[in-house]
Each structure stands twice: as structure tokens, then as C-alpha cells.
A and B are shown apart, each in its own frame.
Chain A
Amino acid sequence: MTETGIGARVKRKEDFRFLTGQGTYTDDINRHGQAHACFLRSPHAHAKLGAINAAKAKAMPGVLAVFTHADLAADKVGGVPCGFGLTQKNGKPQIEPPHPALAAGKVRYAGDAVAMVVAETLAQARDAAEAIEVGYSELPAVVDTAGAPRAKSAVHDEAPNNVCFEWEIGDKAKTDEAFAKAANVSKLEFVNNRLIPNAMEPRAAVGEYDRATGNYTLYTTSQNPHVIRLLMGAFVLAIPEHRLRVVAPDVGGGFGSKIFHYAEEALVTWACRKVGRPVKWTAERSESFLTDAHGRDHVTKVELATDREGNFLGLRVHSIANLGAYLSTFAPMVPTWLYAPLFAGQYRTPAIHAEVIGVFTNTSPVDAYRGAGRPEATYVVERIVETAARDLKLDPAEIRRKNFIAPAQFPYTTPVVLQYDSGQYALAMDKACQLIDYKNFAKRKAEAEKRGRLRGIGFSAYIEACGVAPSAVAGAIGARAGLYEAGVIRFHPTGSVTVITGTHSHGQGHETTFAQLVSDRLGVPYDSIDVVHGDTDRIPFGMGTYGSRSIAVGGSALSKAMDKIVDKGKRIAAHLMEAAVQDIEFKNGAFRVAGTDKQKTIQEVAFAAYVPHNYPLNELEPGLEETAYYDPANFTYPAGTHIAEVEVDPQTGQVEVVDWAAVDDFGNVINPMIVEGQVHGGIAQGIGQALLEGCVYDDRSGQLVTGSYMDYCMPRADNLPSYRVDMTHTPCPHNPLGVKGCGEAGAIAAPAALMNAITNALGIKDLAMPATPERVWRAAQARGARAAE
């Protein structure tokens, strides 16, 4: 391993600019003559929209325009499209009501945009927005997830019972049979709490129109600029791709919430031409709370059938998933295909059946948030497995070990569609047990008890399906796009390299990881390699970054492009050294004639390719640049075990996370420092879900109660522990790098581990997330009362 090659803890290329205040985030971009936009948003969750009177606003100082849905309709601006079409269990398509970019006829959630004001300054735009008069007649709001199908009011006329889809997976008859012969059935009912992603950079967009060329440029906070170009260009604004450039510059975190195409970015792109000025919009945090797509929000029942020894026989799951007021880009996919296919977990459960009902409510749209479906699935599986262990009085490690899919069983086809490619589940769990010193837990518990504290331990042996996705599979289940990735390796004449990727980095450090990859493989110094991402004009195509796909799919595309570089380089080198192509070997940045000391460095070969004075021009084109597209053969399956240890203070209800062991298997790892960082951040978000975060809407009015950092409890430095992080490495067998992806693991594993630990400490079956001091205190008091009886 070299200092900058695969496996090295290389410091990040991107850090210098971020640490010196020289990053370029969307709100840092100012275009000449720029005007500012502000959106007037509905104060009501559900209301009929009456007249909108903007006359006063339009006359205010600095105001350039006020737009409403009528203006969009006059210009034939389309609605915000959904990128996924689910087929229901009755064979019919999901109900897919229109999603107008500015509310038409009705407002459907508090925060739904009603009008757009463009003015010389932001302050003027805000002042004018306040002067717009809107007539609303309020309608009853549909808020409760489980109650939505029975609500008296309908969010959309197209879905009178608020049901978007009813969907199922697995073999119902076989699962019923398994339950009929079970010695034990363990059951749980719970809510997977709704979360607000809260990337620290609020969403922003700047639109610019060039009258001379007819070209549009949109700078936007996106995880996938090409997807925005596709959706916005084709469905909303009818701008052909070659006239539309989308740039996602430095982006301050995404966690899924910046995958989706949002109305505001389309509206600034449309409005900049209308007013003849670049138009900028930046969300205030309050707007982010209201309008960024939220995550999770399931109401679930799960049952696990086992024999007397704890062997799993069958699993049955029923979930109602809240989709919010409109279908966001991937909304129907998240609680179905990204969720239920993970119900086998790491286990050999032979029969599984799951049903999911997706409902509309008068709340913000709900879509992918870090892990997207897989944290919810892991919560289902790992909470019920823990419950079964308790019901059967088995050790939680033991019941898992007993049911793990063994390494010799791969490839392993689960009863819920997926074919797992590789894994060593017991190895990771054993390592995690060692890391946290599981065998001495009882001693620590006894010691804590002397201090009046309740100590608990909890496991989560998770699996995820990452590296989305084989396009044929994605298409078959309803994705309206392919999910391959593109990469370019461009040698310059003097030997430096530009690496171009269709994935997007918004914290993941691709500029470093991909440079390492290329340096390692092509033997080019790390410092002579730069990575380009986030600009549709500089990148052939790309599907962006989500679903832990960047290294597995984007890295594999680069690997294929490098294969082509080496192939071409061999032919050039053979010519230069007057040898046969089949005798040329490539290693450590040099082409050698096998068995001789003749060699040409890759830089010399690149120079020859660009200055082809001595070059096989009748067989080869000049230049050394290769493009590759990679469409994965399968998902990748990162997996591992996290173990949480907590202490509960029964007097205050405070939970302290005292230890955390994470052993993950991401296959091969390019930069362990970056990977560990991803694990830390993921765990923090998972702890956030279990302990602190919960999005609350008022039951009746549908107002967002947790709409600021005063009300929505974000994990802060003093809420969290340090983590023990380790790995096992089982290479992915079907991609060229043997990598699996690491971005979501922590968020997927953590909530179940933590809730298993807290319920273990309290000696109770279940507790709702987030486990706030109040909830924990009540549970501790009830336990005390029971003990006293």
C-alpha cells in the first residue's frame, strides 16, 4: 500500500478550501444583476385557495414580479414529477395526483408555496410577500398516518380514502403455514418516528438565462444535478437538455433530502427569463423544516414465528407509510422496494410476507432520508429478533448466531426477492462482542446498579442493499430512470489527470477517494489528479449520490474507464518500444516489455498520445481519454453488527450512551479514515432518531410543531458518545473494486441497537422513539412500581 493508494488514510483534498472559508456553496454564488426570490407559503395545512390579490405587493419598492399558479398555467409550466411508478397489489398503478409548482385550487400542507415574489433585494421581496392577500377557506386536515384511510377529508380528490397504494411482497400462504406450526410467536407494534433531515446548508438555487444563446444555468443544492436537469427540463419547463446546465457546487450535506427535484429550483429557472435577471432563492431554516422532504413515518405491526429453540420460521409485517401531501421524487419506492426486501435481515427466515399501505396526509412530502427504507426495515427485524430472544429467554447474540445465513450459503436468495452476494455475519458480530466486552456486561450492569443506574445492552445486526441499482431491476419495479453511473479518465499531455464522475460529493470526500483509486491503479501521483463532479456541462451523465452508491457504481465506472486507458496505453507503448501488445505489462505507472527492462511511463505514453509524432495513427486515435458507463449486476450488501450500551437514570429519565461498538463489512475500503467518518455520522443520526429527534404535527390543525432548532431536537456534541469502530472485509464479488458502500450503515443500524439497549436496561418490551427523558422516566417509574408490588 502506498501512502496515497487504496487503503491509505489520506487527508482530504477538499479540506483546505472548507477550512479557510473558500468553499463555494450555492448561496455563496452571486450573479451579475441578480434579483431575489421569496415564497409566500400557506399558513394552513389544508384549505381551498380563493382569490390572490397581489396588486399592493406588485407596487412596492423594488418588486419585479409576483407570480402565482395562473402565471405558470399561462406559460404551460408542468407540475413537479414523481420519479417512481409503483404497481399496487391489485395490479393497478399508484394514485399519482398532480403536484403543481405553486398551489392550484387548494393548499395541501403548511408551507405549500402559494406565490413567488421577485425583487431587487431579499428584504424587499419579503416585505412584498407579506402584502399579498390570499383568501383561504380551511378544510379539515389529515394528519395522523394510521388514521389517514379513515379520515373525513381527502387530501386529493383522486384518492378519496387518502390511499396512494396498497402493496405486498412475499408468500402469504407459506408464511401463514409457518405461523400455524410455530411454537412461539413474538409480536410488536410501533411507530418509526418521522424525521427532518436537516442538512446544515439550507436548500438554495440561482437561475440564470442567457438571451444570446437561449441557454439556462441553474446552480442548486443537489445530490444529483443530471437528475434535476432531466426531471426539470423534461417535465416542468420543457427545456431541452443541451440548453440547460445544472451545477451543484459545494453542497453542505444532503442525507437524501437534496436528491429530489423541488419546485423552487424550477421556479427560479423559469422566473429568471421572465424578469430578465438572474434570480436567487435561499431557504431560511424555518422553510427547510417545512418544505424539505421528511423521512420515515411508519406505523408497523410485526410478528416473528419461531420453534422452541429459537429458529426463525416466518415473519409477517404490516406497515402504513406516510407519503405526505404530494409524491416527492422517490416517495413510493422508499417504504416498499427499499424497505420490505430487507426483511430477511441477516437470517435464514424461510417465509416472509409484508404489506404496505402508502397514505397521503396534509404534511410535507416524505421521501428518502439517510438509509431510506432500510433503517425502518432493520428496526422491524432487529427489534422483533430481540423480542423473540427475550420471549424465549435466549441470549440475543445466540439467537442471531443460530439464524445467520452462513458464509457457505452465498449467493443466497431470500424469500423477499433479493439475492445476497456475500457476507460473514457471525464474524462481524463476534468482533463487535469483543470490542464492547460483551461477556463482562453482567458485571458492569451490577456495578451500575450500585450507583442507582440501570445499564442495558442492545444488538443490531443489520443488512442493507446499496449501490443502487441494476437498471433492469430498477425499471421492472417502477423506477423511471436507469441507475448506472458514468466516469471519465482524462490524461492531459503532460501527464496530470482529470477524473470526471457522475456521482456527487456533499461531504463524502470523493475528490480524495476517487483520486486515491486512480493514483493506485494508474500509478499517477495523487497530487496530479483532480476530480470533477456536480456540473452537467462538464460530465457526460450521472445519476448522482444516494443509496451508498458512489464507490460501488461510480467507482466501478471509473475502474472500467481505467481498464480502457490501460488497454490503449499498452498499444501505444507497444508501438513506442517496438514490441508486441501481448508482451506489454502495466504496473506501478509504467508499461514494460515483459522479461526486459524496457519501459515507458504512463506520462510518456500520454505525451505520445497528444503529440503523436511517433504513433500508430493508422490503428489508433490520438489522445488519452476514456469514458465508461457501469450498470451494476446486483445491489451490494453491506452488513455488520452494532452494539449499544446505555445507562438510564431512573430518577431523571436521562439515557447516557456509554459505549458503542460498530463492526461493519463494506467489502474493500479505499480510505478508512473517510469510511469511519461516514460510520460516525450515520450512528449520530441513528442515535438522533432513537433518543432525540421526532417531527410533530399538531393533530388537528396540521401545523408543524417542531419547526425550529428550539423545538426539533438535533443531536449536539454533548448528547453523543465517542464510538469504537472496526470492520471486516468481505469483498463484493460482482463489482471490479470489491466495494459495497458505507454512507448509510450507521443510520440503519443504530436506532434498533439503542432501543434494544434502553428496553433491556428498563426490563420492558418496548418504548416509543425518541426515548425522551419523559418517556424513559415514566417507564422507569412503572417498573419501580411493579418491582415494589
Chain B
Amino acid sequence: MPTVSMTVNGKSVGKTVEDRTLLVQFLRQDLGLTGTHVGCDTSQCGACVVDVNGHAVKACTLLAAQTEGARVTTIEGLAAADGALHPMQQAFMDNHALQCGFCTPGMVMSAVDLLKRHPNPDEQTIRRELEGNLCRCTGYHNIVKAVQQAAKAMAR
């Protein structure tokens, strides 16, 4: 069994895992970071999105071993060290962009990535960019509003 080491939310971690361990399993089971969710088995729901080396990635599409040496940020590592919410988290709260909360970690991580590439997105861009993240609760209406608010807040 290989040993994998990486930096997760600023901390270095190393564990021996089975070869077939997915990154999302590594995070949830080996590190106990259960904020990253699993919503499907075909890499299509986006509930598992995390940041790997600056890119939003579906953590169910990678083996833990493939992220050897990577810098990984999960939803647990998004807020500031003092607990202040990231502007995207705040915008989700302000705009009621979550209901059951299950899609939320992946949705927030994708939305943060979206703003890196489109700092001032229009509604259509937001909708197109988030099509890899399923939400069954909100109908996306308030998620779009939240991303717009976060874009404004982060432009300041």
C-alpha cells in the first residue's frame, strides 16, 4: 500500500492507503474532513469539488496517490484562520443560496474557482460555469445571486 503525503488546508498530512483510494475517500475517511461530499458515482454532481493546486477538481475523479505533494483546500479550509467566512460563503448565506447544504461545499468551491477565471461574470456565465454542480433544492436562482454578490465583494 502506498503512502501519500500532501498539504491539506495548510497542514501536511501523510497516510498509507490502498491503491484504489480516491481523493474524496482519503479526505473523508482518512482525514475525517467530511465537509466534502459524495453525491454520485459517475463524476457528474460536483458535491466533491475541492481545490487542488489552485484548480477546482472533482475529488471523486482522482486517486489520492495522484495528488501526492499537492496543495489541497477543502471547504473546511476556506474561511479565514480567525473564522471569518470567505466572501463566497458569506454571499451564500446572505442570499439563501443553500437549503439542505449537501451540494453546498462543492458549489462554493466551484464558485470560488469561477470568479478566479471570470471576476465579473454575467448571469449566463455563472449558469454555464456551474453546470457541473447539481443542486436539487434551490433551483439555482439564489446561487446565481450569491455569486454575483461575491464577485462584487471580491472586486473591492
Contacts and interface: CB of A to CB of B under 8 A. Distances in A.
B100 A253 contact: yes
B40 A285 contact: yes
A21 B99 contact: no
Contacts of A787: none
A434 interface: no
Interface residues of A, number: 56
Contacts of B153: none
Question: Secondary structure at chain B's binding surface: helix, strand, loop or mixed?
Answer: loop
Contact of A253 (B40, B133, B137, B141): B137
A386 B137 CA distance: 29
B139 A681 contact: yes
A23 B89 contact: no
A718 interface: yes
A711 to B, nearest CB: 9
B41 A507 contact: no
B136 A200 contact: yes
A15 B92 contact: yes
A743 to B, nearest CB: 10
Interface in A677-696: 677, 680-685
B58 interface: no
Given A200-B45, A718-B127, A19 B134 contact: no
A600 interface: no
Given A684-B139, A709-B40, A673 B92 contact: no
B36 to A, nearest CB: 7
Contacts of A682: 139
Given A709-B44, A722-B123, A200 B100 contact: yes
B100 A251 contact: yes
Contacts of A202: 38-39
Interface in A619-678: 673-674, 676-677
A698 interface: no
Interface string B94-114: 101011111111001000000
Contacts of B143: 717
Contacts of A441: none
B144 interface: yes
Interface in A176-210: 198-202
A60 to B, nearest CB: 15
Interface string A719-737: 0101100000000000000
Nearest to B138: A681
Given A22-B35, A253-B136, A284-B41, A14 B131 contact: no
Contacts of B37: 25, 200-201, 252
Contact of B141 (A23, A252, A722): A722
Given A123-B18, A252-B100, A709-B40, A21 B139 contact: no
Q: What is the interface residue range for chain B against chain A?
A: 35 or more
Contact of B144 (A286, A507, A715, A722): A722
Contacts of A509: 99
A20 B40 contact: no
A1 interface: no
Contact of A252 (B101, B126, B128, B142): B101
A200 B75 CA distance: 17
Nearest to A251: B100
Given A14-B101, A253-B137, A673 B96 contact: yes
Contacts of B127: 717-718, 720
B135 A200 contact: yes
A21 B44 contact: no
A200 B47 CA distance: 8
B108 A507 contact: no
Nearest to A287: B41
Interface string B65-83: 0000000001110110000
Interface in B41-68: 41-42, 44-45, 47
B101 A285 contact: no
B105 A21 contact: yes
B128 A19 contact: no
B101 A723 contact: no
B118 to A, nearest CB: 14
Contact of B102 (A25, A681, A708, A714): A25
Contacts of A309: none
Interface in A509-545: 509
A27 interface: yes
Interface in B2-23: 18, 20
Contacts of B18: 123
A709 B39 CA distance: 10
B124 to A, nearest CB: 8
Nearest to B86: A19
Given A19-B93, A680-B138, A684-B139, A201 B144 contact: no
A23 B28 CA distance: 13
Contacts of B124: 718
Nearest to B75: A21
Contact of B137 (A20, A24, A507): A507
A123 B20 contact: yes
A452 B64 CA distance: 51
A255 B143 CA distance: 20
With most chain A CB atoms within 10 A of its CB, the pick from B20, B133, B137, B140 is B137
A286 B103 CA distance: 18
B35 A709 contact: no
A20 to B, nearest CB: 6
Nearest to B92: A19
A19 B137 contact: no
Nearest to A24: B34
Contacts of A24: 34
A199 B141 CA distance: 18
B154 interface: no
A201 B79 contact: no
Contacts of A130: none
A723 B139 contact: yes
Contacts of A715: 139
Nearest to B102: A252
B93 A683 contact: no
Contacts of B38: 27, 202
Nearest to A508: B99
Interface in A104-146: 123
Given A21-B34, A674-B96, A200 B102 contact: yes
B139 A11 contact: no
Given A19-B104, A507-B99, A717-B143, A12 B93 contact: yes
A410 interface: no
A710 interface: yes
Given A15-B92, A28-B28, A202-B38, 12 more contacts: A16-B85, A19-B98, A19-B101, A201-B102, A250-B101, A681-B139, A682-B139, A683-B139, A709-B45, A717-B135, A718-B124, A720-B127
Interface of A: 11-12, 14-25, 27-28, 123, 198-202, 250-253, 255, 284-286, 506-509, 673-674, 676-677, 680-685, 708-710, 714-718, 720, 722-723, 746
20 contacts: A14-B101, A17-B101, A20-B78, A21-B36, A200-B39, A200-B103, A201-B37, A201-B102, A252-B100, A253-B99, A285-B41, A285-B42, A507-B101, A677-B99, A680-B138, A682-B139, A708-B41, A709-B134, A717-B135, A720-B127
Interface of B: 18, 20, 28, 33-42, 44-45, 47, 74-76, 78-79, 85, 89, 92-94, 96, 98-105, 108, 123-124, 126-128, 130-131, 133-144
The list of the 9 closest CB pairs from A to B, nearest first, reads A21-B35, A252-B102, A18-B101, A684-B139, A507-B100, A507-B99, A21-B75, A680-B139, A28-B34
